[in-house]
């Protein structure tokens, strides 16, 4: 995204059909949340 200087990119499925877009802010937030979830100790419920 930085190299293209855009804030959103198209998303395609395995067949190459357009299925939507991904925004930089949502992608960044998702990555941060995933890292935090993996770093937190797992608790038994």
Indicate whether this model's pTM tops 0.75: no
Q: What is the dihedral of CA 17, 2, 33, 37, to 10 degrees?
A: 90
Paired strand residues for 22: 9
40, 26 Cβ separation under 8 angstroms: no
d(CA 30, CA 42): 19
Low-confidence ranges of the chain (pLDDT < 50): none
Q: What is the dihedral of CA 28, 30, 35, 38, to 10 degrees?
A: 180
In this prediction, residue 34 carries a pLDDT of: 92
Q: Both tokens of residue 42?
A: 């797992």
Each domain of the chain, given as residue ranges in start order, spans 8-39
In this prediction, residue 44 carries a pLDDT of: 56
């Amino acid at each position: 995204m930085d190299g293209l200087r855009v804030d959103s990119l198209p998303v395609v499925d395995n067949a190459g059909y357009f299925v939507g877009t991904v925004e930089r802010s949502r992608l960044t937030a998702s990555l941060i949340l995933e890292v935090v979830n993996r770093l937190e100790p797992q608790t038994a419920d």
